[in-house]
A = this chain, B = another copy of it.
Amino acid sequence: MANKKITKQTVKFDNPPSIIQTSSIVGPKEGDGPLSRYFDEILKDELWDEKSWEKAESKILRECINKVIKKSGKPFTDIDYIFAGDLLNQCLSSNFAIRETDIPFFGLYGACSTMAEALSLAAMIIDGGFANNVISAASSHFCSAEKQFRFPLELGTQRALTSQWTVTGTGATLLSSTGSGPYITHVTTGRIIDMGINDANNMGAAMAPAAADTISAHFDNTGIYPDNYDYIVTGDLGYIGLEIASDILSKAGLKVSDKLIDCGVMIFDRERQDVHAGGSGCGCSASVFNGYLYKEIITGNLKNILFVATGALMNTTSIQQGESIPSIAHAVSIRKNL
């Protein structure tokens, strides 16, 4: 029987898996932002010697996975599984990145929630006794995403003020059954929420209710007080979505606005790098989590965070067919010490 399930959406680990290493690689624009010093590698350009943006994105993810394994000092053969996903059609970036690793692979699609989805499942199969070392990873690339979801970059199309800038970046986490933290203690899995937003240039508004729903569920389910966390870090709601999520939570009686920060808000400088509503893409929360947040936890500047990556689950066809944007958010509770 499901002894680790607390309530509908949340599980608690008997032996919380440890994050034993992370890695992150970002593009030049992200490397020029406020979190620059936290990333392992900053690319000089968006192609990294590849012939296409898709190949470049896949290379960034591949090298990021290689990097986390090398940094850990473990042989490749010690890695039991990889969970990964991205935004490209049919998760192209992940499939090509992982084909050379020889490591059993579970492909995910959670849009920009993928990093938290991957951490959730990796933690479950480690605590469940099925693996000792698992990698969770995600990627996105500004150019491959614009080409696929919006307009040819060459057109120089003006972006809406509510739109977010897809991050060129990746992050990879090596989770292990043994280690001295930081630990994943709880996972709250999202359900799909769709409040009828159908503006593909306002993803933050579409995703905010899903973030609020999962955050509420986490506190309801666990009985943990928000004060137990230094921050509740949403995936990439951006400025607009973060404000909406804060409003929804506040109206629901959950006073967490002083705890809420967002990867899409933090990764770019609002004044100097104006990207309108903030950063987005699977690689946004992946690089900010595996770069900035992990390193701040390791150094002790942060102790406990709730990492809540959010995804907008539409595609270009659904938007053309007038559909609204279903969204999801997955939450992962991370503690420096148990």
Contact = CB atoms under 8 A, between A and B. Distances in A.
A41 B107 CA distance: 29
Interface stretch (A18-26, A245-253, A273-281, A309-317): A309-317
A5 interface: yes
A106 B104 contact: no
A251 to B, nearest CB: 21
B318 A103 contact: no
Interface string A1-29: 11111001101001000000000000000
A318 B4 contact: no
Interface stretch (A122-130, A227-235, A260-268, A293-301): A122-130
A104 B323 contact: no
A85 interface: yes
A54 B90 contact: no
Interface residues of A, number: 69
A191 interface: yes
B108 A189 contact: no
A313 B317 CA distance: 21
Contacts of A106: 108, 110, 117, 120-121, 189
A54 B317 CA distance: 8
A199 interface: no
Interface string A298-334: 0000000000000001111110010100101000000
A241 interface: no
Contact of A192 (B105, B194, B314): B105
A80 interface: yes
A11 B132 CA distance: 12
Interface of A: 1-5, 8-9, 11, 14, 51-52, 54-55, 77, 80-81, 85, 87-92, 95-96, 98-99, 101-111, 117, 120-121, 124-132, 148, 177-178, 189-194, 313-318, 321, 323, 326, 328
Given A88-B315, A125-B128, A128-B130, 12 more contacts: A2-B126, A2-B130, A8-B80, A90-B109, A90-B111, A91-B313, A92-B317, A96-B318, A104-B191, A107-B328, A108-B108, A148-B317
